[in-house]
């Protein structure tokens, strides 16, 4: 074990790595490819729920639990893998995580029952949070001073672009060649990402000073817990609606199955715009961006519920929901990386654990109200309630930050 006093500081590590990052843009694109791969498989399941439900012989609300299963894998895997991998070379760790992601998607493609598919989705979710956490740290270490936030947003942009290109294309593929073909396609994307990272991302050492005790310090910080809770609760609002977008569009909106990829494309464009906007708003105020996006999402989700029968007119509302949701995601990541202090690896990874608790909770609560007979429109009301609750957590965070000067400021 390396003593804490002999370990180079994160800033020193960044300076040691940066001169070797001659292909900065290519390195960021390689890291973003992982976000594209993860985003494609995470969100395409929502667009293929009817096909998956039929394929494994369950109802659509029951099939929605495979979304929650993936999220459970992320929640468990993010802190565990970040804890175990904090000292490992970061490029090698990213490659290993993508190989594991390929294996999980291949297992999903060959699953013959709902139970096996659920287990496969849990396993697939394990590398998700750790990949984004480590990739964000690598991107920040490669970026020139003053551009770290934009570099992290670039990694997140891969996930957003997935919802513009990857998810609609994979949804079309699943509708025409069977839902299993989608998971095989993502298996190939994961292997391609591993090759790109190995080729274009410079060798990045792990944090030699990382210890289990130091990483676990993140859990002693009240602001870490509040930030995680704001994501776990508030972002669940988007997933309450997004998880059931396919049946909402067809059964409530009265549109054909072919309209689903169009809606997913609009949602994906909202994520791209929101990710870009988040980087700009972060320069103004990360915390105020969190407050504004939470309230705005609550209003948009209520509008979604009211306008669900309007068919194509629902597209602008879906676009707005994902713009605001993406602003929330990126700024939660930046906030968490700051309030975690020295526990950088586990702090960066925990954001996606939090967001996938939101994924699981939103999908589950949406399924509960649908199964209770309230219909697909009720998911918008559930989502709005979750967004408002997330806003309330942020208000508590602001109150504590002002009452306790030793806590991270609201400028973070």
Q: At what angle do helices 10-17 and 114-142 cross, to 10 degrees?
A: 80
pLDDT (tens digit, 9 = 90+) per residue, 324-359?
A: 998 998 888 888 877 876 666 777 778 878 887 887
Q: Considering only CA atoms, which of 360, 407, 366, 356 is closest in space to residue 66? A: 360
d(CA 217, CA 212): 9
For the domain covering 10-403, report its CATH number.
1.20.1250.20
Q: What is the pLDDT along the chain (412 residues), one digit of tens a residue?
A: 333 333 344 444 444 444 344 578 888 899 999 999 998 988 788 778 888 888 888 888 788 788 878 878 888 887 788 777 777 788 889 999 999 999 999 999 999 889 999 999 999 999 988 898 888 888 878 877 667 767 777 888 888 888 788 888 888 898 889 889 999 999 999 999 999 999 998 877 666 665 556 666 667 788 888 989 999 999 999 888 888 888 888 888 888 888 887 887 888 788 889 988 887 787 777 888 899 999 999 999 999 999 889 889 889 998 999 999 989 988 888 888 778 766 667 777 788 788 878 877 888 898 889 988 888 989 999 999 999 999 999 999 888 877 765 544 555 4
Residue 146 has a pLDDT of: 63
Q: How many CB atoms lie within 10 A of CB 364?
A: 19
d(CA 183, CA 308): 30
d(CA 353, CA 5): 30
d(CA 394, CA 99): 37
Let me know if 373 is exposed, middle or buried by CB neighbors in 10 A (0-12, 13-18, 19+): exposed
Q: How many CB atoms lie within 10 A of CB 212?
A: 12
Q: At what angle do helices 315-339 and 114-142 cross, to 10 degrees?
A: 60
Residue 6 has a pLDDT of: 37
**What pTM was computed for the model?**
0.72
Q: What are 103's two structure tokens? A: 């294996």
Which residue intervals of 87-166 are DSSP H helices? Answer: 90-110, 114-142, 148-161
């Amino acid at each position: 074990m390396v003593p804490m006093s002999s370990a180079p500081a994160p800033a020193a590590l960044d300076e040691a790595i940066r001169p070797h990052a001659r292909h900065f843009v290519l390195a960021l694109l390689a890291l973003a490819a992982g976000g594209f791969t993860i985003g494609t498989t995470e969100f395409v399941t929502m667009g293929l729920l009817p096909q998956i439900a039929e394929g494994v012989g369950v109802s659509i609300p029951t099939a929605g639990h495979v979304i929650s299963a993936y999220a459970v894998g992320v929640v468990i895997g993010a802190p565990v893998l970040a804890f175990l991998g904090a000292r490992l070379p970061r490029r090698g760790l990213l490659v290993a995580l993508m190989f594991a992601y390929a294996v999980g998607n291949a297992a999903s493609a060959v699953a013959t029952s709902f139970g096996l598919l659920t287990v496969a989705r849990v396993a697939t979710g394990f590398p998700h949070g750790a990949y984004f956490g480590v990739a964000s740290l690598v991107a920040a270490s490669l970026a020139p001073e003053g551009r770290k936030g934009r570099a992290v947003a670039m990694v997140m942009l891969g996930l957003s672009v997935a919802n513009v290109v990857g998810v609609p294309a994979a949804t079309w593929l699943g509708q025409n060649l069977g839902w299993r073909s989608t998971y095989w396609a993502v298996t190939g994307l994961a292997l391609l990402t591993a090759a790109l990272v190995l080729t274009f991302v410079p060798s990045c050492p792990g944090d030699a000073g990382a210890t289990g005790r130091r990483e676990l310090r993140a859990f002693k910080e009240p602001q870490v817990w509040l930030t995680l809770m704001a994501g776990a609760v508030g972002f669940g609002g988007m997933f309450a609606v997004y998880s059931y977008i396919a049946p909402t569009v067809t059964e409530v909106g009265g549109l054909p199955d072919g309209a689903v990829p169009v809606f997913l494309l609009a949602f994906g464009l909202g994520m791209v715009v929101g990710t870009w906007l988040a980087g700009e708003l972060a320069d103004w105020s990360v915390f105020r961006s969190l407050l504004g996006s939470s309230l705005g999402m609550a209003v948009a989700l209520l509008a979604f519920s009211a306008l669900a029968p309007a068919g194509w007119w629902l597209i602008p509302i879906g676009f707005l929901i994902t713009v605001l949701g993406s602003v929330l995601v990126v700024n939660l990541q930046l906030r968490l990386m700051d309030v975690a202090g020295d526990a950088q690896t586990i702090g960066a990874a925990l954001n996606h654990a939090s967001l996938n608790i939101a994924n699981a909770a939103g999908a589950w609560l949406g399924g509960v109200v649908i199964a209770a007979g309230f219909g697909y429109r009720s998911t918008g009301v559930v989502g709005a309630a979750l967004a408002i609750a997330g806003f309330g957590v942020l208000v508590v965070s602001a109150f504590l930050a002002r009452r306790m000067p030793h806590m991270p400021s609201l400028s973070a």
